[in-house]
Amino acid sequence: MDLERLDGGKGTTREWSKTKIGNGKSTRIWEDRWIPDSSHGRVTTQRPPGCGLQKVEDLIIQRRWNRNLIFRSFNTNDVEKILSIPISLADREDSNFWIHSQDGNYSVRSGYKLLSNKKLEQQGDDREKASTSWNAQSKKTWTHMWKLNLKQKVKIFLWKCLNQALPVRESITNRTKIGDPLCRQCGEDRETMEYALLNCRCVKQVWRIAPVQWSRIHDQLGSFIRWWSIIAEARKRPDGDEHLALTANILWQIWKNRNDGEFNDQKQLPWQTIQKAQEEWLEYKEATTKASRVSPEALAMQETSSQHQEGTTGVIKIRFAIHKRQDSPDMGIGATTMEDNQHLIKSWAAKDRSTGHHHVDELVAIKLLMSKALMLRWRKIEMQIQNKQALNCILSRKSHDIRQATLIEDIYQLSLLFQKCSFCLVSKDGNHICDRISSYAIGIFEDEDV
């Protein structure tokens, strides 16, 4: 596949990436794609005649946005989006951010998934028209399929099934005008993909003894896409992902058994096909479970804590809350700090401009509070976070949101300046003091000790 030509040749990979602002020195204000929450990524303001502003760095002063200049130079829509972009603390260079991955880096897999989704969206033949439920959910189903706990080869096989790309006898005969389209296993009908995997008399014996039974879908066996899109709804029920993963492994073994009969004149009994599918699935599940016991979050926590083993003595625990009003772009931040869970040291009220996105605002608050802790020369801190998504982003150091990515990088760099720095998830219960302070902070003019 030509990953440099996407959307049927109408665009390039550049159209699917944006510039992540660091110091703004290499990004052109009026030409480049650097505006978040915009499909084209460019400012919508027309460049004023004689305007000398050229690079994004012209809009930054002392690592903060020059708000007065921005309000004078751009329309309201652009102003809000520009001011929602975090400025890097570390004076990093601007960089490209691939918007279809979790960490902003381009990979063959993410490009392949994008091409696949585009292909599914563009297919308009009779087969796709007969599969409206799949068309409506194609992107969601494809994304979920990649998250299933399956071997990569099984995922690729399933993708081929969803794209009618298996080399079954009927498609080969239609394409080459050579050979016999009849199913070799039973010899009773033409071997379409649906027949080979779902409808052949020999295959039905396999599904009849399968440990996972799918009821009320017998009228969907004429279209694999429709059949899979219906059973994919099982992800919403308990153990649904495991049932889907096992079903995918059964499909894979049915196809392997078909190929053994086609090319090696070998054939498994139905119970052997099921047994092989279960064995391979359980073996892979156990292997991935062992690998995940040391999670990326745990590794990131160890790295963030700089491998220090001084214990918990002298650790300052920082808890916070944020408050926003619909009639104001301002955000209030309320924080309390406590040493060794014993006595309150300090409480802060701080005010900042909301980015308009709750998860981004949470990271803005964490970055601000860590900076304050460094100014006070605290050596050991524990950031207590109520938002699980924000915590996961910090620990994994990954985010598909370009603004979050900049903040996560800054938070990581700040964490290295402490002797000990850790992050943990806490309940929202008992955080009423921070809530009250954050509500009060909306009305202040400068940060206050409370």
Domain ranges of the chain: 22-93, 123-291, 300-449
Burial letters 76-92, b for 16+ CB under 10 A, else e: eebbbbbbbbbbbbeee
| Region 90-99 average pLDDT | 75
Share of the chain above pLDDT 70, in %: 79
Q: Which of 75-79, 146-150, 210-214, 237-241 has the highest mean pLDDT?
A: 75-79
Cα-to-chain-centroid distance, residue 264: 42
User: What pLDDT score does 195 carry?
Assistant: 93
Q: How far apart are CA 297 and CA 388, in angstroms?
A: 12
Where is pLDDT greater, at 167 or 340? 167
What amino acid occupies position 22?
G
**Which residues lie below 8 Å from residue 360, measured CB to CB, with a gap of 6+?**
84, 86, 401, 403, 404, 407
What amino acid occupies position 52?
G
Q: How far apart are CA 247 and CA 228, in angstroms?
A: 10
CATH class of domain segment(s) 300-449: alpha beta
User: What pLDDT score does 123 carry?
Assistant: 52
User: What pLDDT score does 329 carry?
Assistant: 86
| Region 414-422 average pLDDT | 91
pLDDT band, very low/low/confident/very high, at 266 (cuts 50, 70, 90):
confident
Reply yes or no on whether the pLDDT at 253 is more than 90: yes
Where is pLDDT greater, at 300 or 437? 437
pLDDT band, very low/low/confident/very high, at 344 (cuts 50, 70, 90):
confident
Check the CA dihedral 425-426-432-433 and report its sign: negative
- Over the stretch 157-195, which tens digit does the pLDDT of each residue have? 988 888 888 999 999 998 888 889 999 889 899 999 999
pLDDT band, very low/low/confident/very high, at 370 (cuts 50, 70, 90):
very high
CB atoms closer than 10 angstroms to residue 106: 16
Contact status, residue 447 vs residue 351, Cβ threshold 8 Å: yes
pLDDT band, very low/low/confident/very high, at 118 (cuts 50, 70, 90):
low
- The pLDDT mean for the chain works out to 80
User: What pLDDT score does 11 carry?
Assistant: 44
CB atoms closer than 10 angstroms to residue 304: 21
